[in-house]
Amino acid sequence: MSFSEFIRERRYLQNVSPATVSWYTHAFKWLSNESPSPAQLKDCVLRMREAGLKETGCNAAIRAINSYLNWHGSELRIPQLKEPQFILPTFSLAQVTLLLNWKPKNFYDRRLHLLVMLLLDTGARISEACTLRIADLDMENLLVTLDGKGRKQRLVPISFEFRKAVHRYLRDSSPSVYLLEGRTGKKANRLVMLKSAKDLCTRLGFTAPIRTLHAFRHTFAVNYLRRGGSTFHLQKVLGHSSLEMTRRYANLLTDDLSAIHERVSLLSR
């Protein structure tokens, strides 16, 4: 049994996505052979770290390798590395206000503004936003169908304000298939949208947070909980397979924790 046979079964029997196949293929490059010993598995992780992979990158490869080992019938497993817990980057409410109140002047500005509204209104991934088709919008019932990771679709609510913005955009821009398509009819390019979003933040007078496009998703998650949404419902909206992943996205900001502490502290009057 080999790497190629494992990937073949995953592709044709479990219908994994091309992105998952690529993930497996990349991870297996770290293994020196198809029946690794404990020492070889340890060396595999050491080489990842020596090559500069961060803990999250190593763990992604480790999950793929462990999946292969299980399929192979091996009892060996590589333990996950401990990952540092950083505060997730978000936009402040003042920055969100600036972004939403910005007045676009041309086609590309209008497309960018609609992207910002979509990400803030639904918590969608940038890949989901760029591949969103007009036909996936249920304007009457205020729902949108997003194509998530692993070919998993999910229905996500949209607001009245976003629906109005979509109507205006469709009237002025007239895309044919993809909501955020370019002039040539192709779907929006992620790197182009990233550069445009960063440039917009600079034009509005603030520095874009790191992982700018994903920071919109973090911002959505934090404010969803802050305004009374449950972690369970947030998990469904974000398309996470586990609550643990959702909790990592939905870290409350220091201001929220401080406000709660002021109410519950025994020293407060």
Res 179: pLDDT? 95
Res 200: pLDDT? 97
The whole-chain average pLDDT of the chain stands at: 90
Taking only the tens place, the pLDDT of each residue in 17-63 is 888 899 999 999 999 899 999 999 999 999 999 999 999 899 999 99
- Residue 257, pLDDT above cutoff 90: no
- Residue 269, pLDDT above cutoff 70: no
- Residue 252, pLDDT above cutoff 80: no
CA dihedral 12, 18, 23, 26 (to 10 degrees): 90
Taking only the tens place, the pLDDT of each residue in 190-199 is 999 999 999 9
Res 244: pLDDT? 73
Percent of the chain with pLDDT over 70: 92
Tokens of residue 148, six digits? 């998530």
Res 231: pLDDT? 83
Give the mean pLDDT of 215-243: 86
**Which 8-state DSSP code applies to residue 134?**
G
Give the mean pLDDT of 86-90: 81
DSSP line for 10-26: HHHTS---HHHHHHHHH
Instruction: Specify the CATH number for 93-258; select among 1.10.443.10, 1.10.8.60, 3.40.50.720, 1.10.530.10.
Output: 1.10.443.10
Nearest alpha-carbon partner for 189 in 116, 113, 127: 127
Q: Give 260: exposed, middle or buried? Use CB within 10 Å, 0-12, 13-18, 19+.
A: exposed
- Residue 1, pLDDT above cutoff 70: no
Under the banding of pLDDT at 50, 70 and 90, the label for residue 84 is confident
Res 207: pLDDT? 96
Q: Are 241 and 268 in contact (CB under 8 A)?
A: no
Domain ranges for the chain, please list them: 3-72, 93-258
Whole-angstrom Cα distance, residue 14 to residue 227?
A: 39
Whole-angstrom Cα distance, residue 126 to residue 115?
A: 9
DSSP alpha helices (H): ranges in 123-185? 126-130, 160-173
Taking only the tens place, the pLDDT of each residue in 172-187 is 888 889 999 988 888 9
Residues labelled catalytic: 125, 149, 214, 217, 240, 249
Among 142-146, 149-153, 202-206, the range scoring the smallest mean pLDDT is 149-153
